[in-house]
Amino acid sequence: MDQIISQLSAFKSQIDELMARIGIASKAQQIEDLEEEASQGDFWDDPDGAQRKMQRLSKLKALVDKWRALRLRIADALELAEIADADMQAELAGETEALREIVETMSLQAMLSGDYDSEDAIFAIHAGAGGVDAQDWAEMLERMYLRWMEQNGYKTEILDRSGGDEAGLKSVTVSVKGEYAFGYLQSEEGVHRLVRLSPFDSAHRRHTSFAKVELWPDIQSDIEIEVADKDIRIDTFRASGAGGQHVQKNDTAVRITHLPTGVVVQCQNQRSQAQNRDRAMQILRARLFEMERARQEAEMAELKGENIDAGWGNQIRSYVLHPYQMVKDHRTAVEVGNTTAVLDGRLGDFIQAYLRQKVSG
């Protein structure tokens, strides 16, 4: 029983430390302030603003309640363990093991304390250097990430998908909805490198291919980015792929080019051109918002004397299928020999290592 008490005491200390780090007390005060504001008679005079505040309130309450409930559960188990007899040892051992798993999960989520880590995400993959092999590699990555998302309970929607010339895909954009989608997936942003014997080479030689992953928080109406009409060009075209006669016969797909930055987004999964245009504008605002956020962070890093290497040269991970089998993350040095499991969506080791390094750094 002493070992159980020691473990529960350690869990309690760990949770107290994590709650202090992510500011649960401060968030509880924000809840009180928002509830006080919501009780005012003129709160709903601005319906859009009020709705955003109510959504913020709901997320804060869910977060605070979850941490407080865990702390209470640990405290109750500890109190019981301190007075329990030997007959209850097996039951308390089971509860301690269950709490261990929850504490590990919550510890990982505590690393996701950024402003947008808890938000939905817009996730894109682009084939890079390597020709047909690179387009095939982009499709392999699409499969890998869709499997990871499915395995972890995320809801996905393909917003746009451009097939490859001979195989694979040139690019795909996916909406990912679920708790901490942006926070977890930020570990995947960057260039992914594949080394293998090419199935598209008649001589079956070894080829190196590249694909790029991009990510933006999908916070939609919360993004305060003004986009002037004069700064965008809107093109419509016929959607490709499945979708029936309506998709095939009408120019429902929309491509928006932001002229000052050259950013291009497109959407073709919605039923109408107007819906595709609205969703494309949301994606554009998200991309511009993330660009501005990255610019500000880069300026701060420069002031601190840090050197941030961003863009296509930032190769984050290599997937080697020949002459040996290995997946290695170049930022964290995590290596996995079971390449089949990784390509089937088992990315937890890479994601957790990245988050731990980010927090410790």
Query: Tens of pLDDT along 51-79?
Result: 889 988 998 898 899 999 999 999 999 99
Check whether 348 has a pLDDT greater than 50.
yes
Give the pLDDT confidence score for residue 358 in this predicted structure: 82
Name the residue with higher pLDDT: 114 or 92.
92
pLDDT mean over 101-113 = 86
- Own/partner pairs for 342-349, CB < 8 Å, 24+ apart? 342/144, 343/140, 343/143, 343/144, 343/319, 344/144, 344/147, 345/144, 345/145, 345/146, 345/147, 345/148, 345/149, 345/150, 345/151, 346/148, 347/144, 347/148, 347/188
The per-residue b/e assignment along 163-174, b for 16 or more CB within 10 angstroms, e otherwise, is: ebeeebbbbbbb
In this predicted structure, what is the pLDDT of residue 342? 97
- The pLDDT of residue 220 is 60
pLDDT at 313: 58
What is the average per-residue pLDDT within 117-121? 88
Least confident of 10-14, 65-69, 309-313: 309-313
User: In angstroms, rounded to a whole number, what is the distance separating the alpha carbons of residues 151 and 335?
Assistant: 21
The domain locations on the chain are 2-110, 119-361
Q: What is the pTM of this model?
A: 0.72
For the cut 60, the answer to whether the pLDDT of residue 300 exceeds it is no
In this prediction, residue 311 carries a pLDDT of 40
pLDDT exceeds 90 at position 176:
yes
Give Cβ neighbours of residue 239 (< 8 Å, ≥ 6 apart).
247, 248, 252, 253, 268, 269
pLDDT at residue 294, as a whole number: 78
Strands 315-320 vs 190-197: parallel, antiparallel or unpaired = parallel
In the chain, which ranges are continuous DSSP H helix? 2-21, 24-38, 47-83, 89-110, 131-151, 181-185, 244-249, 273-303, 339-343, 348-360
Of the pLDDT bands very low, low, confident and very high (cuts 50, 70, 90), residue 130 is confident
Homologous superfamily of the 2-110 domain (CATH): Release factor (1.20.58.410)
**What is the CATH architecture of 119-361?**
2-Layer Sandwich (3.30)
Rounded Cα distance, 279 and 270, in Å: 8
The mean of the pLDDT values for the chain is 87
Question: What pLDDT is attached to residue 208?
Answer: 92
DSSP state of 313: T
- Binned at pLDDT 50, 70 and 90, residue 268 comes out as confident
Same CATH topology for 2-110 and 119-361: the answer is no
- pLDDT score for 59: 83
Q: Which residue has the higher pLDDT, 105 or 157?
A: 157
